[in-house]
Structure 1
Amino acid sequence: MRTLTLVDSAGLGREVHPLLALDTLPMIGELAIMISRMPGGDVGRTSMSTAMLFAQPLRVPKEFFDEQHALGRRPGQLEASTAMARVLFDAHGQRDVLLDQLPTLTPGTATGLAAAPT
């Protein structure tokens, strides 16, 4: 039997959540960081992130929400995640679309599309 299981669909299409694309714009990401540091902003950021990542955010386990909330409070994490988003996305969505590379995959391998050659 030949199957393809997608563990993570990143790279398979240009579309990303509009708020994620917006966060890559100059000054918008910095504004989001500033708002996250205001009273209650950290809970708002975690709620927004969860809504962007999951189709049914109300079904996300509390442990995930708590972990993301704690992660966002680590020094430098918000700046690092904004910088990473700007590398991966722009205002139009994902920069590198790997969908055309699917035919080159060998079923049964555990390597990713963007794995570095060994």
Structure 2
Amino acid sequence: MEEPGFRVLLTESGDQKTEAIRAIRTVTGLSLWNSKLLLESAPVAVTEPDWLEAAQETARALEAAGAHAAVLCDWCDRTITRVAGPLDPAPCSGPWPPEACRASYPPATN
């Protein structure tokens, strides 16, 4: 069965806009101008659907630069936390059982 993709949503630019623009350039490969436009468009999706681990790494890079980011499940549009434990008791709208949904039961990360 196919797993869902996870995309990164830039929710706020934060106080360190120059650092956030650099981080956006690093994770997306966009030009300086397009990275600035993307930052000013927050909230906006920064990445296309990808593996959970890649999306979480992208969100970490943005947050390290002072921006605020969230990882969203491409199937159920729920936010993925970076701590273990259920996020939302509602079932996933994807084609798999709720206990297998990584948005409902995300893996623990360090």
TM-score, length of structure 1 as denominator length:
0.28
Higher Cα Rg, which structure: 1
- Larger helix proportion of the pair: 1
- Larger strand proportion of the pair: 2
TM-score, length of structure 2 as denominator length:
0.30
